[in-house]
Amino acid sequence: MGAAYLDHASTTPMLPEAIQAMTAQLGEVGNPSSLHAAGRRARRVVEESRETIACALGARPSEVVFTAGGTEADNLAIKGLYWARKRPRILISSVEHHAALDPAHWLGDHHGARVELLEVDEQGRVHPETLREAIARDPDDVALVSVMWANNEVGTVQPVRVLAAIAHEYGIPFHTDAVQAVGQLPVSFAESGVDAMTVSGHKVGGPVGVGALLLARGVDPVPVLHGGGQERDIRSGTLDAPAIAGFAAAVETAVARQPATAERLSALRDDLIERVRRAVPDVVLNGDPVNRLPGNAHFSFPGCEGDALLMLLDAKGVECSTGSACSAGVAQPSHVLLAMGQDGVRARGSLRFSLGHTSVEEDVDRVADVIGHVVERARRAGLS
Protein backbone atom coordinates (compact mmCIF):
# COMPACT_ATOMS: atom_id res chain seq x y z
CA MET A 1 0.00 0.00 0.00
CA GLY A 2 1.41 3.37 -1.03
CA ALA A 3 1.58 6.49 1.07
CA ALA A 4 -1.57 8.45 1.84
CA TYR A 5 -0.98 11.74 0.03
CA LEU A 6 -2.76 14.50 1.97
CA ASP A 7 -0.92 17.58 0.70
CA HIS A 8 -3.07 18.53 -2.31
CA ALA A 9 -3.05 22.19 -1.25
CA SER A 10 0.67 22.24 -2.04
CA THR A 11 0.41 20.38 -5.36
CA THR A 12 -2.29 18.06 -6.58
CA PRO A 13 -1.56 15.29 -9.11
CA MET A 14 -2.20 16.16 -12.74
CA LEU A 15 -5.60 15.17 -14.06
CA PRO A 16 -5.58 12.61 -16.90
CA GLU A 17 -7.27 15.19 -19.15
CA ALA A 18 -4.46 17.66 -18.49
CA ILE A 19 -1.75 15.07 -19.11
CA GLN A 20 -3.37 14.10 -22.39
CA ALA A 21 -3.74 17.71 -23.55
CA MET A 22 -0.19 18.64 -22.61
CA THR A 23 1.37 15.47 -24.01
CA ALA A 24 -0.34 16.03 -27.34
CA GLN A 25 1.55 19.31 -27.70
CA LEU A 26 4.99 18.32 -26.41
CA GLY A 27 6.10 16.90 -29.73
CA GLU A 28 4.98 19.96 -31.68
CA VAL A 29 7.15 22.93 -32.55
CA GLY A 30 6.32 26.59 -32.94
CA ASN A 31 6.59 29.84 -31.04
CA PRO A 32 3.08 31.29 -30.62
CA SER A 33 4.48 34.70 -31.64
CA SER A 34 5.86 33.43 -34.97
CA LEU A 35 3.94 34.14 -38.15
CA HIS A 36 4.69 30.92 -40.04
CA ALA A 37 2.41 27.88 -40.01
CA ALA A 38 3.99 26.24 -36.95
CA GLY A 39 3.74 29.51 -35.04
CA ARG A 40 0.12 29.97 -36.04
CA ARG A 41 -0.67 26.44 -34.92
CA ALA A 42 0.89 27.10 -31.51
CA ARG A 43 -0.99 30.42 -31.29
CA ARG A 44 -4.25 28.60 -31.97
CA VAL A 45 -3.54 26.25 -29.05
CA VAL A 46 -2.90 29.22 -26.76
CA GLU A 47 -5.99 31.14 -27.83
CA GLU A 48 -8.30 28.13 -27.64
CA SER A 49 -6.93 27.45 -24.15
CA ARG A 50 -7.53 31.08 -23.22
CA GLU A 51 -11.15 30.74 -24.32
CA THR A 52 -11.55 27.51 -22.36
CA ILE A 53 -10.25 29.05 -19.15
CA ALA A 54 -12.33 32.21 -19.62
CA CYS A 55 -15.50 30.16 -20.14
CA ALA A 56 -14.83 27.98 -17.08
CA LEU A 57 -14.11 30.95 -14.81
CA GLY A 58 -16.77 33.40 -15.99
CA ALA A 59 -14.42 35.80 -17.76
CA ARG A 60 -13.78 37.16 -21.24
CA PRO A 61 -10.85 35.65 -23.13
CA SER A 62 -9.22 39.09 -23.30
CA GLU A 63 -9.21 39.14 -19.49
CA VAL A 64 -6.96 36.05 -19.18
CA VAL A 65 -3.25 36.93 -18.94
CA PHE A 66 -0.99 33.87 -18.81
CA THR A 67 1.87 33.81 -16.31
CA ALA A 68 4.43 31.28 -15.08
CA GLY A 69 2.28 30.51 -12.03
CA GLY A 70 0.46 31.95 -9.03
CA THR A 71 3.46 33.72 -7.54
CA GLU A 72 4.11 35.71 -10.71
CA ALA A 73 0.42 36.54 -11.02
CA ASP A 74 0.28 37.85 -7.44
CA ASN A 75 3.42 39.91 -8.00
CA LEU A 76 2.04 41.35 -11.22
CA ALA A 77 -1.25 42.29 -9.59
CA ILE A 78 0.16 43.86 -6.44
CA LYS A 79 3.26 45.56 -7.79
CA GLY A 80 1.66 46.47 -11.10
CA LEU A 81 -1.49 48.01 -9.63
CA TYR A 82 0.52 49.89 -7.00
CA TRP A 83 2.75 51.43 -9.66
CA ALA A 84 -0.18 52.15 -11.98
CA ARG A 85 -2.26 53.87 -9.30
CA LYS A 86 0.58 55.94 -7.81
CA ARG A 87 -1.02 55.94 -4.36
CA PRO A 88 0.82 54.96 -1.19
CA ARG A 89 -1.46 52.58 0.73
CA ILE A 90 -1.81 48.85 0.13
CA LEU A 91 -4.55 47.12 2.13
CA ILE A 92 -3.88 43.39 2.32
CA SER A 93 -5.15 40.70 4.65
CA SER A 94 -2.80 39.50 7.37
CA VAL A 95 -3.33 35.85 6.36
CA GLU A 96 -2.31 36.05 2.70
CA HIS A 97 0.10 33.62 1.11
CA HIS A 98 3.67 34.90 1.03
CA ALA A 99 3.34 35.21 -2.76
CA ALA A 100 1.08 38.19 -2.03
CA LEU A 101 2.43 39.44 1.29
CA ASP A 102 6.06 39.54 0.27
CA PRO A 103 5.56 41.71 -2.86
CA ALA A 104 3.56 44.15 -0.75
CA HIS A 105 6.26 44.37 1.91
CA TRP A 106 8.92 44.67 -0.80
CA LEU A 107 7.08 47.70 -2.14
CA GLY A 108 7.09 49.10 1.39
CA ASP A 109 10.81 48.54 1.79
CA HIS A 110 11.87 49.81 -1.64
CA HIS A 111 9.14 51.98 -3.14
CA GLY A 112 7.56 53.88 -0.26
CA ALA A 113 4.34 51.86 -0.01
CA ARG A 114 2.43 51.94 3.27
CA VAL A 115 1.36 48.35 3.79
CA GLU A 116 -1.61 47.99 6.13
CA LEU A 117 -2.52 44.47 7.22
CA LEU A 118 -6.24 43.87 7.54
CA GLU A 119 -6.97 42.07 10.80
CA VAL A 120 -8.85 38.77 10.83
CA ASP A 121 -11.00 37.11 13.47
CA GLU A 122 -10.13 33.88 15.29
CA GLN A 123 -11.32 31.88 12.28
CA GLY A 124 -9.14 33.80 9.83
CA ARG A 125 -11.86 35.91 8.21
CA VAL A 126 -11.64 39.56 7.16
CA HIS A 127 -14.83 41.29 8.26
CA PRO A 128 -16.34 43.78 5.81
CA GLU A 129 -16.39 46.53 8.42
CA THR A 130 -12.65 46.02 8.95
CA LEU A 131 -12.02 46.82 5.29
CA ARG A 132 -14.45 49.72 5.25
CA GLU A 133 -12.85 51.33 8.28
CA ALA A 134 -9.36 50.91 6.81
CA ILE A 135 -10.38 52.52 3.52
CA ALA A 136 -12.34 55.32 5.16
CA ARG A 137 -9.29 56.57 7.04
CA ASP A 138 -8.00 57.99 3.75
CA PRO A 139 -9.68 56.52 0.66
CA ASP A 140 -7.81 58.70 -1.82
CA ASP A 141 -4.49 57.19 -0.72
CA VAL A 142 -5.39 53.51 -1.31
CA ALA A 143 -3.70 51.91 -4.32
CA LEU A 144 -5.38 48.52 -4.06
CA VAL A 145 -6.96 45.91 -1.80
CA SER A 146 -5.83 42.26 -1.85
CA VAL A 147 -7.70 39.50 0.00
CA MET A 148 -7.44 35.83 -0.95
CA TRP A 149 -10.56 33.85 -1.89
CA ALA A 150 -9.77 30.98 0.48
CA ASN A 151 -6.88 30.53 2.86
CA ASN A 152 -4.24 28.01 1.87
CA GLU A 153 -3.46 26.97 5.46
CA VAL A 154 -6.68 26.87 7.49
CA GLY A 155 -9.15 26.77 4.59
CA THR A 156 -11.35 29.69 5.65
CA VAL A 157 -13.36 31.17 2.78
CA GLN A 158 -13.43 34.97 2.62
CA PRO A 159 -16.50 37.10 1.75
CA VAL A 160 -14.80 38.19 -1.46
CA ARG A 161 -17.86 39.56 -3.26
CA VAL A 162 -18.80 41.79 -0.31
CA LEU A 163 -15.22 42.99 0.16
CA ALA A 164 -14.83 43.78 -3.54
CA ALA A 165 -18.07 45.77 -3.52
CA ILE A 166 -16.81 47.88 -0.62
CA ALA A 167 -13.56 48.62 -2.45
CA HIS A 168 -15.53 49.63 -5.54
CA GLU A 169 -17.62 52.10 -3.57
CA TYR A 170 -14.40 54.08 -3.28
CA GLY A 171 -13.13 53.33 -6.80
CA ILE A 172 -10.33 51.06 -5.54
CA PRO A 173 -9.24 47.95 -7.50
CA PHE A 174 -9.60 44.63 -5.69
CA HIS A 175 -7.30 41.63 -6.20
CA THR A 176 -7.93 38.12 -4.94
CA ASP A 177 -5.67 35.08 -4.93
CA ALA A 178 -8.08 32.29 -5.93
CA VAL A 179 -5.39 29.62 -6.23
CA GLN A 180 -6.96 27.37 -3.58
CA ALA A 181 -10.58 28.09 -4.52
CA VAL A 182 -10.78 27.08 -8.19
CA GLY A 183 -12.03 23.52 -8.50
CA GLN A 184 -13.18 23.32 -4.87
CA LEU A 185 -15.58 26.27 -4.73
CA PRO A 186 -17.84 27.94 -7.30
CA VAL A 187 -15.64 30.68 -8.79
CA SER A 188 -16.87 33.26 -11.30
CA PHE A 189 -14.66 36.21 -12.13
CA ALA A 190 -17.55 38.31 -13.43
CA GLU A 191 -19.96 37.53 -10.60
CA SER A 192 -17.37 38.08 -7.88
CA GLY A 193 -16.84 41.68 -8.93
CA VAL A 194 -13.07 41.49 -8.42
CA ASP A 195 -10.71 43.36 -10.74
CA ALA A 196 -7.80 40.92 -10.67
CA MET A 197 -7.74 37.21 -9.82
CA THR A 198 -4.82 34.79 -9.52
CA VAL A 199 -5.08 31.17 -10.68
CA SER A 200 -2.38 28.47 -10.68
CA GLY A 201 -2.08 25.31 -12.79
CA HIS A 202 -0.66 22.82 -10.31
CA LYS A 203 -3.36 23.49 -7.72
CA VAL A 204 -6.18 22.37 -10.04
CA GLY A 205 -4.62 19.30 -11.62
CA GLY A 206 -2.57 21.04 -14.28
CA PRO A 207 1.21 21.29 -14.73
CA VAL A 208 3.61 23.23 -12.54
CA GLY A 209 4.98 26.45 -14.01
CA VAL A 210 1.85 27.96 -15.56
CA GLY A 211 -0.93 30.15 -14.22
CA ALA A 212 -2.95 33.21 -15.05
CA LEU A 213 -3.92 36.62 -13.80
CA LEU A 214 -7.46 37.51 -14.77
CA LEU A 215 -7.76 41.25 -15.32
CA ALA A 216 -11.01 43.13 -15.86
CA ARG A 217 -11.29 45.56 -18.75
CA GLY A 218 -9.61 48.85 -17.99
CA VAL A 219 -7.41 47.33 -15.27
CA ASP A 220 -3.86 47.65 -16.58
CA PRO A 221 -1.06 47.06 -14.08
CA VAL A 222 2.43 48.25 -14.89
CA PRO A 223 4.43 45.26 -16.21
CA VAL A 224 6.84 43.48 -13.90
CA LEU A 225 8.57 41.72 -16.81
CA HIS A 226 9.64 43.65 -19.88
CA GLY A 227 10.34 42.18 -23.30
CA GLY A 228 8.08 41.15 -26.14
CA GLY A 229 4.83 42.23 -24.52
CA GLN A 230 3.14 38.97 -25.51
CA GLU A 231 0.22 39.23 -23.07
CA ARG A 232 -1.60 42.56 -23.58
CA ASP A 233 1.77 44.34 -23.15
CA ILE A 234 1.33 43.48 -19.47
CA ARG A 235 3.35 40.27 -19.33
CA SER A 236 6.29 39.41 -21.55
CA GLY A 237 7.80 36.03 -22.30
CA THR A 238 7.43 33.23 -24.82
CA LEU A 239 4.22 31.37 -24.06
CA ASP A 240 4.48 27.68 -23.16
CA ALA A 241 1.78 26.24 -25.43
CA PRO A 242 1.93 22.64 -24.07
CA ALA A 243 1.70 23.79 -20.43
CA ILE A 244 -1.11 26.21 -21.28
CA ALA A 245 -3.03 23.42 -23.02
CA GLY A 246 -2.66 21.23 -19.92
CA PHE A 247 -3.64 24.13 -17.67
CA ALA A 248 -6.79 24.80 -19.68
CA ALA A 249 -7.82 21.15 -19.66
CA ALA A 250 -7.33 21.01 -15.89
CA VAL A 251 -9.35 24.17 -15.23
CA GLU A 252 -12.17 23.01 -17.51
CA THR A 253 -12.31 19.56 -15.93
CA ALA A 254 -11.94 20.73 -12.32
CA VAL A 255 -14.64 23.39 -12.68
CA ALA A 256 -17.05 21.01 -14.41
CA ARG A 257 -16.61 18.48 -11.60
CA GLN A 258 -16.54 21.04 -8.78
CA PRO A 259 -19.99 20.33 -7.28
CA ALA A 260 -19.38 16.58 -7.13
CA THR A 261 -15.79 17.06 -5.95
CA ALA A 262 -16.87 19.41 -3.17
CA GLU A 263 -19.51 16.98 -1.96
CA ARG A 264 -17.13 14.03 -1.96
CA LEU A 265 -14.22 15.87 -0.35
CA SER A 266 -16.44 17.46 2.30
CA ALA A 267 -17.59 14.00 3.37
CA LEU A 268 -14.01 12.70 3.50
CA ARG A 269 -12.85 15.82 5.35
CA ASP A 270 -15.62 15.58 7.96
CA ASP A 271 -14.82 11.91 8.52
CA LEU A 272 -11.15 12.79 8.93
CA ILE A 273 -11.94 15.53 11.45
CA GLU A 274 -14.20 13.25 13.47
CA ARG A 275 -11.70 10.41 13.59
CA VAL A 276 -8.75 12.63 14.50
CA ARG A 277 -10.81 14.13 17.32
CA ARG A 278 -11.69 10.67 18.51
CA ALA A 279 -8.02 9.62 18.57
CA VAL A 280 -6.73 12.91 20.04
CA PRO A 281 -9.53 14.41 22.19
CA ASP A 282 -7.73 17.69 22.90
CA VAL A 283 -6.93 18.46 19.25
CA VAL A 284 -8.10 21.86 17.98
CA LEU A 285 -9.58 22.38 14.51
CA ASN A 286 -8.42 25.69 13.03
CA GLY A 287 -10.34 27.87 10.60
CA ASP A 288 -14.04 28.31 9.99
CA PRO A 289 -15.82 25.05 10.87
CA VAL A 290 -18.44 25.62 8.15
CA ASN A 291 -17.23 28.10 5.52
CA ARG A 292 -14.01 26.31 4.68
CA LEU A 293 -12.49 24.56 1.69
CA PRO A 294 -14.01 21.09 1.17
CA GLY A 295 -10.60 19.43 1.19
CA ASN A 296 -9.01 21.23 4.14
CA ALA A 297 -8.58 20.00 7.71
CA HIS A 298 -6.09 21.99 9.79
CA PHE A 299 -5.34 21.00 13.38
CA SER A 300 -3.30 22.14 16.35
CA PHE A 301 -1.99 19.34 18.56
CA PRO A 302 -1.22 20.62 22.07
CA GLY A 303 2.16 19.56 23.44
CA CYS A 304 3.58 18.69 20.00
CA GLU A 305 5.93 20.24 17.49
CA GLY A 306 4.51 20.26 13.99
CA ASP A 307 7.81 19.27 12.38
CA ALA A 308 8.11 16.23 14.66
CA LEU A 309 4.54 15.19 13.85
CA LEU A 310 5.19 15.65 10.14
CA MET A 311 8.23 13.37 10.14
CA LEU A 312 6.60 10.74 12.33
CA LEU A 313 3.56 10.66 10.06
CA ASP A 314 5.77 10.48 6.98
CA ALA A 315 7.45 7.41 8.44
CA LYS A 316 4.00 5.87 8.81
CA GLY A 317 3.08 6.59 5.19
CA VAL A 318 1.05 9.78 5.70
CA GLU A 319 2.17 12.82 3.71
CA CYS A 320 0.83 16.17 4.94
CA SER A 321 2.32 19.58 5.78
CA THR A 322 2.90 22.02 8.59
CA GLY A 323 1.63 25.55 8.35
CA SER A 324 5.02 26.97 9.20
CA ALA A 325 7.72 28.48 7.06
CA CYS A 326 11.33 27.44 7.57
CA SER A 327 13.95 30.14 7.51
CA ALA A 328 17.66 29.42 7.96
CA GLY A 329 16.79 25.99 9.35
CA VAL A 330 14.64 27.42 12.14
CA ALA A 331 10.92 26.60 12.13
CA GLN A 332 8.80 29.73 12.45
CA PRO A 333 5.19 29.73 13.67
CA SER A 334 2.62 30.26 10.96
CA HIS A 335 1.86 33.94 10.35
CA VAL A 336 -1.71 32.87 9.57
CA LEU A 337 -2.27 31.29 12.98
CA LEU A 338 -0.56 34.18 14.76
CA ALA A 339 -2.83 36.63 12.94
CA MET A 340 -5.80 34.56 14.14
CA GLY A 341 -4.73 35.20 17.72
CA GLN A 342 -2.97 31.93 18.49
CA ASP A 343 0.24 31.88 20.49
CA GLY A 344 3.52 30.67 19.04
CA VAL A 345 3.49 27.34 20.88
CA ARG A 346 0.10 26.33 19.53
CA ALA A 347 0.95 27.64 16.08
CA ARG A 348 4.11 25.51 15.94
CA GLY A 349 2.14 22.39 16.84
CA SER A 350 -0.11 22.46 13.80
CA LEU A 351 -0.62 20.29 10.73
CA ARG A 352 -2.64 20.65 7.53
CA PHE A 353 -4.27 17.67 5.87
CA SER A 354 -5.54 18.60 2.42
CA LEU A 355 -7.51 16.29 0.15
CA GLY A 356 -7.95 16.34 -3.61
CA HIS A 357 -9.21 14.45 -6.62
CA THR A 358 -7.18 11.30 -5.91
CA SER A 359 -8.12 11.13 -2.21
CA VAL A 360 -10.01 8.06 -1.03
CA GLU A 361 -11.41 6.68 2.21
CA GLU A 362 -8.29 4.56 2.68
CA ASP A 363 -6.27 7.77 3.08
CA VAL A 364 -8.47 8.79 5.99
CA ASP A 365 -8.18 5.29 7.43
CA ARG A 366 -4.38 5.55 7.35
CA VAL A 367 -4.44 8.83 9.30
CA ALA A 368 -6.94 7.48 11.82
CA ASP A 369 -4.86 4.34 12.36
CA VAL A 370 -1.63 6.17 13.22
CA ILE A 371 -2.45 9.68 14.49
CA GLY A 372 -3.03 8.71 18.13
CA HIS A 373 0.27 6.84 18.42
CA VAL A 374 2.17 9.54 16.54
CA VAL A 375 0.86 12.34 18.76
CA GLU A 376 1.66 10.33 21.90
CA ARG A 377 5.19 9.72 20.70
CA ALA A 378 5.68 13.38 19.73
CA ARG A 379 4.53 14.49 23.17
CA ARG A 380 6.94 12.11 24.89
CA ALA A 381 9.76 13.43 22.74
CA GLY A 382 8.82 16.99 23.66
CA LEU A 383 9.05 16.19 27.37
CA SER A 384 12.42 14.44 27.14
Q: Is the CA virtual torsion 20, 24, 26, 32 positive or negative?
A: negative
Residues classed as catalytic = 326
Question: Angle at the Cα of 9 (from 338 to 271), degrees rounded to 5?
Answer: 90
Indicate the Cα dihedral angle 252, 255, 260, 261, nearest 10°: 100
